[in-house]
Amino acid sequence: MTSDPNPKMIDSSLDELLNRYFSGKVVRKDLTKWVKEGANVPVYVLEYLLGTYCASNDEAVIDAGLQTVKKILAENYVRPDEAEKVKSVIRERGSLKIIDKVSVTLNEKRDVYEALLGNLGVKGIEVPSAIIKKYEKLLVGGIWSIVTLEYFFEESQKGSPFVLRDLKPIQMPNMDLEELFEGRRAFTEGQWIDVLLLSLIHIWNVPTCCGADFAAWRAAIVHRAGNGQPAAAPTAVLQERDSRCPGGWSVKHCKRTE
């Protein structure tokens, strides 16, 4: 999503379109950075929560969403040093929704799938085959997920007393290209180029505090795309920085020093 203080350079309808057609899949990177500073949480976990609760142009909704995100992180994200406390809470309450990385292996001796929750440090949790068929990536490196765990202990049981009742991936388990194509149809070519450019600026870690040379970057990407070339950061612009600009740009590129 856009957060540039020079809105004249960017189509003001982009945020509304992105929130409407890619709800839950777009995030304001400035919010990610702001929340990340006070929470030792993987970025994609933060971005999932921000995309879910802060996908709006209304500042009041965003503020309320930020409070919800902070509450979820405080109550549901499993920190390794608090694993025993979380396990105790699950045992005493009988059930708890947590955020953790879930990896699954096949226990061929018992012919069951078993999960390992990385931060919680619990393994041997049986996983229904239906979940594996839906999210095969669980078997290949694992997926950060929102998991509902229950606790049920019996003297004669062979597996873990922890029961996986529900699992919702935070990382995208697969890419739905049809959904992407369908959402793309709502954007003009120029709007879509701006969406891609804004995303690339964040990937390149280019400060956008003053919208420095946005038009030049856009023109460069359009030119390269027209020639079948991959997008590349305008090197000359990225190399010229100056302390007088809030984002470190040289006077030549900083719009606030003009």
> pLDDT at residue 161 above 90?
yes
Output the CA torsion 159→162→168→171 (10° steps).
-80
What confidence score (pLDDT) does residue 227 get?
A: 57
Same domain, 66 and 88: no
- CATH assignment of the domain containing 124: 2.40.50
Band (98; pLDDT cuts 50, 70, 90): very high
What confidence score (pLDDT) does residue 44 get?
A: 81
| 143 inside domain | yes
Same domain, 162 and 237: no
Same domain, 147 and 197: no
| 174 inside domain | no
| 179 inside domain | no
* 255 vs 18, more confident: 18
| 202 inside domain | yes
> pLDDT at residue 160 above 70?
yes
What confidence score (pLDDT) does residue 166 get?
A: 93
Range of the domain at 249: 188-258
What confidence score (pLDDT) does residue 164 get?
A: 93
pLDDT digits (tens, 9 = 90+) for 197-248: 777 665 545 554 444 455 665 666 565 555 555 544 444 444 444 444 444 4
Q: Which residues pair with 126 in a beta bridge?
A: 114
Q: Which long-range contacts (CB under 8 A, 24 or more apart) does 52-61 make?
A: 52/24, 54/27, 54/28, 55/19, 55/23, 55/24, 55/26, 55/27, 56/19, 57/15, 57/16, 57/19
Contact criterion met (CB below 8 Å) for 115 and 103:
yes
| 159 inside domain | yes
> pLDDT at residue 131 above 90?
yes
Same domain, 136 and 195: no
Cα(7)–Cα(25) distance, integer angstroms: 22
Same domain, 96 and 68: no
**Highest mean pLDDT, choosing among 72-76, 194-198, 217-221:** 72-76
| 2 inside domain | yes
Closest to 72 (Cα-Cα) out of 115, 105, 41: 41
CA 85 to chain centre: 27
> pLDDT at residue 253 above 60?
no
> pLDDT at residue 249 above 60?
no
What confidence score (pLDDT) does residue 48 get?
A: 86
In this structure, of 120-129, 173-182, 232-241, the range with the lowest mean pLDDT score is: 232-241
Residue that terminates a domain, selected from 77, 94, 114: 77
What confidence score (pLDDT) does residue 7 get?
A: 41
Instruction: State which H helix or E strand residue 147 sits in.
Output: strand 143-151
Q: What is the mean pLDDT of residues 45-74?
A: 87
What confidence score (pLDDT) does residue 47 get?
A: 85
Contact criterion met (CB below 8 Å) for 28 and 57:
no
Same domain, 113 and 97: yes
Residue that terminates a domain, selected from 54, 77, 100: 77
Total number of domains constituting the chain? 3
